[in-house]
A = this chain, B = another copy of it.
């Protein structure tokens, strides 16, 4: 989102996170702007009963956790590295200065947040609708990058955490979808 050139100019630091290492946790106050150079992370919540809800995945080149940073509010979710991940950290202060001094960057963030609202609206609409198949389709649609059938590299548990369903329900539903030719399952992998 922000060029590496600019990040360096404003004093960003590159930090490496190990797989399963937390970047920040729910209810902490934001101190940094985060942008992924390499790797991927997930934002998630835990319910009291131990169930997990996945808010979203972020990959190479993407930034995350900006809304609480801009609002100066506590993180509403935790962030964890899914693999070895290298992330640029820029202090809140310098981030704000960078925004102020670079209007085109600020505008890019406006568009970025607009896109986030747009996606969230779409997802919440599809997922509140109880039918498991619709929920799962909404998830799969957000995964797709090409129009052709492609391999989905999320586990059934991950799909369950994202859609608010249970693993067993996901398994049974995708089996039904396979029967209806909505997707393929080859060697346990989903192709959609």
A contact set with B: CB distance below 8 Å: 45, 47, 51, 53, 55, 66-68, 70-71, 73, 76-77, 99, 103, 106-107, 109-111, 113-118, 120-125, 127-130, 163-164
Nearest Cβ on chain B to A97's Cβ, whole angstroms: 13
Residues A125 and B45 in contact, CB atoms below 8 Å apart: yes
> Which of the residues B53, B109, B111, B120 comes within 8 Å of A71, measured between beta carbons?
B111
Evaluate whether A123 and B124 lie within 8 angstroms (CB atoms) in the complex, with A67-B114, A67-B115, A110-B113 already known. Answer: yes
CA distance A118 to B69 in the complex (A): 11
Please give me the 7 A-B residue pairs with the lowest Cβ-Cβ distance, nearest first.
A128-B164, A113-B113, A67-B114, A120-B120, A70-B114, A67-B117, A67-B118
> Which of the residues B120, B123, B128 comes within 8 Å of A53, measured between beta carbons?
B128
Contacts of A71 in B (CB 8 A): 111, 114-115, 118
Residues B129 and A53 in contact, CB atoms below 8 Å apart: yes
- Oligomer copy total: 2
- Whose C-beta in chain B lies nearest to the C-beta of A128? B164
> Which of the residues B113, B115, B124, B164 comes within 8 Å of A129, measured between beta carbons?
B164
Nearest Cβ on chain B to A138's Cβ, whole angstroms: 12
CA distance A127 to B123 in the complex (A): 12
CA distance A47 to B134 in the complex (A): 11
Interface of A is mostly: helix
Nearest Cβ on chain B to A28's Cβ, whole angstroms: 15
Evaluate whether A120 and B121 lie within 8 angstroms (CB atoms) in the complex, with A47-B129, A53-B129, A71-B111 already known. Answer: yes
CA distance A110 to B47 in the complex (A): 30
Contacts of A77 in B (CB 8 A): 121, 125
